[in-house]
Amino acid sequence: MGVSANWWKNIAENHENVKHSIAGAGAGIVSSIVTCPLDVVKTRLQNQGTGHPGIALYRGTYGTLSRIWMEEGIRGLYRGLGPTIFGYLPTWAIYFTVYDYCKERVGSQIGKEDDHWLVHILSAMTAGATSTTLTNPLWVIKTRFMTQNERTAYRYNNTLHAFKTITKEEGLGGFYKGLGPSLLGVSHVAVQFPLYEKLKIWFKADKDAPSGMMTILMASSLSKMAASMATYPHEVIRTRLQNQTVKPYKYHGIMHAIKIMLQEEGPLAFYRGMPTNLLRTVPASAMTILTYELLVSKMDEIKTS
């Protein structure tokens, strides 16, 4: 057995949480690279309001993809990929580590098995709140990059330049714009992961069999779709708040944003970009969770070899 194999075996045997961190981070990177263009489209659609004279609005998934390609080229479709990858590395690593840790601890504290629905909900919400709070600065930068064009008030050259500029011009608070709706979005994982765990049981998923991989994909896709549709408005509000750079700000918090958006754009404004979001997040989530399950399974195999 080579040095690399010994290193993996040592992790699998002695560092259970590190194992989940590595699996989660690897899964997040794979999905972020594949789905970045759709993420850019969704973010642009979420961010646009009623429009301004002389500036055309983005229209639908295909129309927005085509326009970005024509105006900005391939680079426009991959704006924000750097901070997205930097963001997914800690986000999924933190999330899966805390989630699996909480499943064990919470279950023992409340006297329930770790596959009980209440354990899943509490673990998912704790993991979601932890990862969201710790990584919010990276998601602010990612959102700014994805909406950046010749008309935006901000212009960042790279992730480090964005950090320096936001620190200088907006202070620490600039990195935590949109944190409120992001924490409200913890309800998303409180729907997704307990439903995913339940669907796995219903489908009798066995990740070591080809049919088991398909049931994992089905369970993760259905759970992600249900959670996305139930909690989508918080994403639109978060994007609007994160993109405010010029004072006086249009929105002064979550409730004010809801009020102004209802007055100016109507209730459909809270669902802008949702078809694109489903097209992006459902396969991305399925890919992330399947990659995670397979990586954990592989490291478990190394542990017993």
Give which of 98, 188, 90 is closest to 142, Cα–Cα: 90
Tokens of 47: 């961010």
pLDDT of residue 120: 81
Tokens of 54: 């002389």
pLDDT of residue 256: 96
91 Cβ contact partners less than 8 Å away, ≥ 6 residues apart: 28, 131, 135, 138
pLDDT of residue 7: 47
Query: How many domains does one find in the chain?
Result: 1
> pLDDT tens per residue, the chain (305 residues)?
454 555 445 544 445 666 666 776 777 777 788 889 999 999 999 998 766 666 778 999 999 999 999 999 999 999 999 998 888 778 877 887 888 888 888 877 777 666 677 888 888 889 989 999 999 999 999 999 999 988 888 889 999 999 999 999 999 999 999 999 999 988 887 888 889 888 888 887 555 555 577 888 888 889 989 999 999 999 999 999 999 998 899 999 999 999 999 999 999 999 999 999 999 888 877 777 777 778 777 777 776 66
pLDDT of residue 149: 83
- Phi then psi dihedrals of residue 2, to 5 deg: -75, 180
DSSP state of 56: P
CA distances for 210 relative to 81, 175, 207, 250, angstroms = 32, 43, 7, 51
Q: What is the CATH number of the domain that holds 177?
A: 1.50.40.10
Host domain of residue 136: 3-304
**How many other C-beta atoms lie within 10 A of the C-beta of residue 195?**
22
CA distances for 149 relative to 59, 72, 146, 234, angstroms = 17, 8, 9, 24
**How many other C-beta atoms lie within 10 A of the C-beta of residue 179?**
19
